[in-house]
Each structure stands twice: as C-alpha cells, then as structure tokens.
Structure 1
Amino acid sequence: MKHSPAYRLAATVLHGFDEYRARFKQITSDASRRFRDAAWREAQQASAARINLYGEKVEETLDRLQRTFAQEVLAHCETWREARGHYAQLISQRLDYELAETFFNSLFCSVFQHRHIRNDWMFVYSSREDAAHRSGIELCRRYYVNGDWAGALAWALSEAPFESPFADVERDSQLGAGLLEAQLPVAIWQADDAQVELLNSVFYRNKGAYLVGRILGGGEQVPLVLPVLHGEGYGEQQGGDPCLHLDTVLTETDEVSIIFSFTRAYFQVEVPVPGEFVGYLKQLMPHKPEGEL
C-alpha cells in the first residue's frame, strides 16, 4: 500500500505541506525579535514573504508531482480518491489538519483546473468534521478583576511575553482603566465575577503588537484588544525610546473587526492549534466570516 501511486501522491503532498508549515513558523517565530529591535523594514519583508509563501509551496509541490507521476496517473480522479483516504490517515493526529486539508485541495484544484469538486476526491468536508477533537492546549491566560480594573490591565501588560520593558505600567494601567470605565457595559464593570481573558500569543503587525482576548462578567462579554507600541521614534532615528506603552483600549466589536479586516497572514502570530484559535476569534467577532480570521 505504501508503494502504491495513491499513497506516494498523498505523501508527496504532505511533504510539501510540511515544508510550507516549517517555513511559515520560522518566519512567524522571529516576529517578537523584529518587534523588540524595531526592525521595521525586515518586518515588512517577512510579511510579504509569508503572504507569498503558500502559493510558492503549492507551485513547488505541483512541479514535484508532475515530475514524479505520469500524467495518466496524476489526472485520474480515482488516484486522488485513494490518495485522499491515505492523506486523511496521515494527518489524523495533527493539530493543523484543517490547513493540511486545504493544501491538498489546492493541489487537486491545480491539477484539475478547479473542476471535479467532489468530496470523494478532495476535502469539500473535513475528514474530522464530526470529531469533537480538542487538543487540550491552553490558549488563554485569565485574571479575575475583583473590582481592580487598573490591576487587571497591569497584569495584562506586565505578564505579556515582551522582551522590552514598559515605560510606566502603572500609568498605562490607570489610563486604560479610565477607558474601560467609559466603554464597558455597567453589567460587566460592576460584575463580581468579571475577568480578563487574553490569548497567550501576541499578534504582531507593522510597528504594533496586539494583546487579544475578551472581558467577561455579569453574563456578558466584550472583545478586548490592547495595542502596544514602542516610544516615539524608536527604530527610525538615533535616541528613540525603546520602552513600550499601551496605545489605547478597544472593546467594541466593530473596532476589533477593523483590526482583523486584513487576512490573518498579515499578522505575525504563533498559532498552536489553528482551528481552535480561529474558533476563539470567531467568538469575539461572530459576524466575521472565518475566512477573514
């Protein structure tokens, strides 16, 4: 079975996907260093490279398939039906199986010019659609407010995995608490069970870093985004301030949706479990299509 054309096709596609994911993660994992060093030009180059990466790896894998398999094998739907089954088995224990299925679909569509779109031959529906599979990986950190909103924001900022210090966490926290008081529904602001919940991963884009999560309490919830910037001029001129500061506090769904109005590929963010990560963001922005997250 492992020597059959269908199995080798599945393995070749998965090899291409593994190459894509390895390079994608490599670019992403260096985002915190680029932010720390204010390497803005390098950050732009990394963003462009990562956006182009998917198409490049699909093309490379397609070329590998065309060099490895005879045309009558590669262009036979029955080969892909068998390959789909092998591929589903190969990715069955992966945390990024949705992305792996999408990569398989991209190769299938490249071969058949977007014809023959059937679940028999590609992943129109996920191979684990009905599986209530949870990774068990904790995506978030949490803090119970207990009436101290400035303290909650101080925790959010000081416990974030930044390598540069904040210029004045207490000042930022007090200012942020004032913004929260003006923005939050009374039910949340006064709730005994109010808590701040933030994703462990930091979102990096352009010159900013974003802490993303939500505030819950009193049976309600609102999204929470804390944009963090370096001091004025850092990375652009001699003597710029390398210390961090909180830029503002965003709790309106529409405002948060604007932050995510670009595809997630523009963000440099380490995602341990893609499906669960997107599912969490969907809770913050329920009206936003998953394809835009």
Structure 2
Amino acid sequence: MTTQWGQRIATSVLEGFANYRSTFTYITLGAKKRFEEACWLDVQQASMDRINLYDDAVAAVTDCLTEEVAQGYDSLSVWKEAKRCYAALIRSRTDGELAETFFNSIFCRIFRHYEIKPENLFVFSTQPKVKAADEASIILSYRPAFGLVKMVDRILVDCNFNIPYADRRQDVVNIIRTAQQQLGFVFADSKDMEIDIIRSVFFRNKAAYLVGRIRIRENTKPFIIALMNNEQEGIYVDALITDPDEVSIIFSFTRSYFMVDAPVPAAFIAFLQDLLPWKQRYELYNSIGFYKHGKTEFYRDFVQHLTKTDDQFVIAPGVRGMVMIAFTLPSSQTVFKVIKDNIAPQKEVNKETVKKKYYLVKMHDRVGRMADTQEFSHFVFPKARFHPELLAELLAEAPSVVRVVDDSVIIDHLYTERRMIPLNLYIKDATEQQLEAVLDDFGNAIKQLAAANIFPGDMLLKNFGVTRHGRVVFYDYDEICYLTECNFRQIPPPRFPEDEMAAEPWYSVGANDVFPEEFAIFIFADVRIRKCFTDLHGELFAASYWQRIQKVIRENQVVDVFPYRRKQRLARRLS
C-alpha cells in the first residue's frame, strides 16, 4: 500500500508541476507580442500574474493530496516512496531541478518544514550536471565569415520580430562602432572571433535584450543588445553593453524578473554564470523568474557556507529598526529580517500590514531601486552560531516566531535580502567626490521610484543602502505606498507671525498629506549635505514636482527607466 500511495503522490505532484510550468511558459511566451504591440500595462499585469502562479499551484496540489490520499498522505514512509517514484518520473525532464523544488514545496507545506532530511525530499539536487549539448541547444553562434556588417545584421534578423526595425542599417552601424570603441581590436573581422547569443530574447518592462558573449581565443566578454519599441516606427537598438559590471546591473537583485523562455533552465544559468561568475546561482535563477527555485539554491548555499565558516550571526550594522530586527553573518552577503511582535507606536503599522508592503514590492516593478526579498517559513539555524546579544533580542522582540529547540534556533517567518552599506554610514565616511555622486544617485533613486508609482514614505538615509556599484537602493518597506495614494501639498503661508512659533501647525493635515518642503530638514541634519543635495535635486522639495509625476501615472503612461546609464544610449536619427 505504501508503494501505491507513494506512486499516487508522485503522479499528482508531477501533474501539478507540469500544469504550473505550462502556464508559466504561456505567460512568458506572450512577452514577445506584448513588446511588439507596446502593451506596457499588460506587461506589468503579466509579471504579477506569473509571480502568483507558484503558490497557487502548490496550494492546489496540496488540497488535491489531502482529498485523494487522506489515509496516508502525511506518513513519512509514504513520502519516502513518493520521492523515489518522483525522481524516476522527472529523470527525462529538462527542468528537473525546478521539479525537485516543487516536490519540496509540497512536502514542506504538509509537514510545516519539519523532517527536512535527504531521505524525505530533495535537500540536495539529484540532477546531472549541465552538458555541452545542453548549452549548445540554447544558443546561436555567429562568426564574421562575410564581414561584421552581415554578422551583426543576422543577429538582429534572427530575433524574428513581427514588426520591423525602424532603421536596421543604422542599428548595425551603431553596434559595430560602439563595440569597437568598447572592445577595441577584439571586435574585428577575425576568424578567431565568435559571438554566442541565447536563442530566447529576454523581455522586461519596455525593453527586450539579446544576451550573449564574445569569444576570441581564451578571452570571453559579455555582449548585450538592448532593444526598444518606439511604438510608431518600430524596433531600434538602444544600447550595447559589454562591461561586466554594467551587465551585472542589468541582472541586478533590484530589477524585476525577466520574461525569457528557458526550456533548459540549468543551461541558461551555466551560460549566465560564464558571463557573471561572481553572481550566485540563486540570484540568476531569480533573475529569469524562477525565484522559488532561487530559494532552494540559496538554502543549499547557506548550508554549505555554514560548514566552511565559524563566525556568528550578529545584529546588522546601522540604526536599529522600530519594525524589524535585522541580523547578518559577517562572512556572508545576506541580511535576515524578522518582524517584531510589538512595533513601536510611532509606526502606524502591524505585522500583517508589513507583510503586505513586502508583497507589494515583490509584485511591483523595482526599477533597479528596491531590493528583492525572499520570504521563508520555519528557517532553522544552529544556535551556537548566534551571538548572545542577538539571540536575546530576537527572543525578547519576536517571541511569537522565534524559538530555541535543542541546539537550533527556529524562526517561523523571516525575509532575506542582499546586504548593502546603509546610506547614512556610507555618507559618514565618504570623500567629497563620493558624497556628491551618492547624493546624486539618491535623488535619482527617489525620482525613479516615483516614476514607478512608488513613494518610500520614510525617506531617511538609514532606509537606503549602497551597492558595490555605488547605486542607491531602497530596502525598508514598512511605510511604502503607491505615489498616487499621496496628497502632495505646499505648506500654506502663516496667518500671523505667531503661527510659525506655535507647537502645532496652523493648517490641517490629512492622513495622506505629504509636504515635500519638509523633506530637506527631516532627511538631512547636516546643512552642508542638505545644500549639496538641494543643488542636485532641489525640485524634490516642491509639491508641484510630485503632482506632475502623479498626473503622468494617472494617464496610464509607463515611464522609461533604463538599467544602464543614459550616456550609453546609442544615437539614432529620428523621422
């Protein structure tokens, strides 16, 4: 009977996974048409729909198992057999690692993350390593046998768009000229040069990307062509990116997930790691939309990291939060965040509100300015790795979700996030040149968030971080809201001289009222820094600026936010 039930469980799980993958692929493949037809609002909706698919699929399979095999579906012996049967069923799939994660999700939903052992589920992957044939199946290779012009033109034609290029000849010239400027002698009519491009086009927001590499002898460089649709004349090449750091920003954890058809996900990841060797596998799986498997990869990396290190988890650097306890392992690049049971009264939020805010960020276009987070349940840590001060704070501030069981610390709900330098600490140690650059980027971050209909709420410097690329990123979401929910007002002039001296304002203040004139004083205590920021982005202190952005959003205009610097955009003739 155990074998029979195990087989039924395995079959049900695989059927649920196949349905999930089918719908995921259907939404993903629709990205090409949405790009061609410039349906930008549909792009945003499709992105949200796809994110919700996984949890819905897991819930459906779990409900099905509860009904179909109620007599033994929660027996560990049955699930050991189910795992064995499932491993055999997925052996021929090209997305086996994703199928394993789906099985794990079902198991953890039923057993509430207990009994996580290799004999019960796929703690470690059983999938074979990527073969050369797997990688070959996902790429198109080009050589300049008949010259650079014909080769580059072929790359653009092979995208198979159903609308024309606005001026393909100019695009080809721009690509060759820019490549030669950036790469020098590497990009030439050489029999040693080869360009490999992933067959599937990467779509995100209002752009499409051709992702590949240039190989010449032992040297490899990334090669990304950014395409836009101007909605009147057709498609055009907007940028060519060959610098590894710039490519890394395009695949940043602060960006929305790409829509890209990946029939062999592991081969895609292997190719991308060749371009970005410093990026972790889980980050790359996240970037192409498989963020649930990204969690699996993260957990595996985390377990391995613990075996190779001996430092302790400590409270994360920066100002202590009133809503979250943030802690980190100094040897890692991850911050763990736990919602406090008793949130400070000046913060008008509760636990459920905070969770909704984090969900909003997960679903929304992050425009390169909000850190992606991963949500975990029943995360198990070794108790010995916790600094006593941190463990005491966790038990005191979040006892409903933190408990010590034998030699383990179990946290029932937490978020993980990439560690950055808090902006207030970065500014403290910055040179004059660094200060001006980071303040300029801080202003750009606020503007780009606004363009995406996001208002940070609490814009204090401590709520923003600085990445290794020097980019400013927002990461504290407990007061985040849609920009269109705010009522931006100018402070009315005082009625009498005494008004300015009064303890209370002489004007009414509604629940959603925001007075940008006050930003400068609240954000920048240091007058010198305040003046520097005002010189760079003084318009942010005027209610009229924010009202103009709201008007654009309410007219359903989707603003361009580029994942590369504007000076990298290629010049082109406009009719």
Q: What TM-score comes out, normalization by structure 1 length? A: 0.89
Counterpart pick for 2:262 among 247, 271, 292 = 271
Identical columns (%): 38
State the Cα distance separating 1:185 from its structure 2 match: 5.4
Matches within 5 A, 1:113-124: 113-124=112-123
State the Cα distance separating 1:284 from its structure 2 match: 1.1
State the Cα distance separating 1:228 from its structure 2 match: 0.5
Alpha-carbon displacement from aligned partner over 1:9-58 (angstroms, at most 9, x marks no partner): 11111111011011111111211111111111111111110011111111
Structure 1 residue matching 2:239: 3-state secondary structure: coil
Number of equivalences: 284
Is residue 207–residue 229 contact of structure 1 (8 Å, CA) maintained in 2? yes
Is residue 221–residue 275 contact of structure 2 (8 Å, CA) maintained in 1? yes
Q: Give me the whole-angstrom Cα distance separating, in 2, the residues matched to 1:191 and 1:230.
A: 32
* 1:11 alignment partner in structure 2: 11
Detail structure 1 runs of 4+ shifted over 6 Å in the superposition. Answer: none
Q: What TM-score comes out, normalization by structure 2 length? A: 0.47
Unaligned runs of 5+ in 2: 285-575
* 1:260 alignment partner in structure 2: 251
Matches within 5 A, 1:214-233: 214-231=213-230
Matches within 5 A, 1:41-56: 41-56=41-56
Structure 2 residue matching 1:195: 3-state secondary structure: strand
Q: Give me the whole-angstrom Cα distance separating, in 2, the residues matched to 1:58 and 1:6.
A: 18
2:59 is equivalent to residue 68 of structure 1: no
Is residue 263–residue 292 contact of structure 1 (8 Å, CA) maintained in 2? no
State the Cα distance separating 1:66 from its structure 2 match: 1.8
Q: Give me the whole-angstrom Cα distance separating, in 2, the residues matched to 1:265 and 1:100.
A: 23
State the Cα distance separating 1:89 from its structure 2 match: 0.8
Is residue 199–residue 213 contact of structure 1 (8 Å, CA) maintained in 2? yes
Q: Give me the whole-angstrom Cα distance separating, in 1, the residues matched to 2:19 and 2:173.
A: 46
Counterpart pick for 2:276 among 262, 265, 285 = 285
Q: Which moved more, 1:259-268 or 1:73-82?
A: 259-268
Matches within 5 A, 1:79-98: 79-98=78-97
Is residue 188–residue 221 contact of structure 1 (8 Å, CA) maintained in 2? no
2:241 is equivalent to residue 246 of structure 1: no
Aligned alpha-carbon RMSD (Å): 2.4
Is residue 193–residue 214 contact of structure 2 (8 Å, CA) maintained in 1? yes
* 1:59 alignment partner in structure 2: 59
For residue 224 of structure 2, what is the amino acid of its counterpart? V
Structure 1 residue matching 2:154: 3-state secondary structure: helix
Alpha-carbon displacement from aligned partner over 1:149-169 (angstroms, at most 9, x marks no partner): 444322211222211111111
Structure 1 residue matching 2:142: 3-state secondary structure: strand
Is residue 147–residue 189 contact of structure 2 (8 Å, CA) maintained in 1? no
Unaligned runs of 5+ in 1: 235-240
Q: Give me the whole-angstrom Cα distance separating, in 1, the residues matched to 2:140 and 2:120.
A: 41
Q: Give me the whole-angstrom Cα distance separating, in 1, the residues matched to 2:10 and 2:225.
A: 42
Is residue 214–residue 224 contact of structure 1 (8 Å, CA) maintained in 2? yes
The structure having more radius of gyration, on CA atoms, is: 2
State the Cα distance separating 1:242 from its structure 2 match: 4.0
Q: Give me the whole-angstrom Cα distance separating, in 2, the residues matched to 1:127 and 1:69.
A: 26
The structure showing larger relative contact order (alpha-carbon pairs under 8 Å, at least 6 residues apart) is 1
For residue 277 of structure 1, what is the amino acid of its counterpart? F
State the Cα distance separating 1:134 from its structure 2 match: 4.9
Is residue 62–residue 107 contact of structure 1 (8 Å, CA) maintained in 2? yes
For residue 257 of structure 2, what is the amino acid of its counterpart? Y
Q: Give me the whole-angstrom Cα distance separating, in 1, the residues matched to 2:184 and 2:212.
A: 17
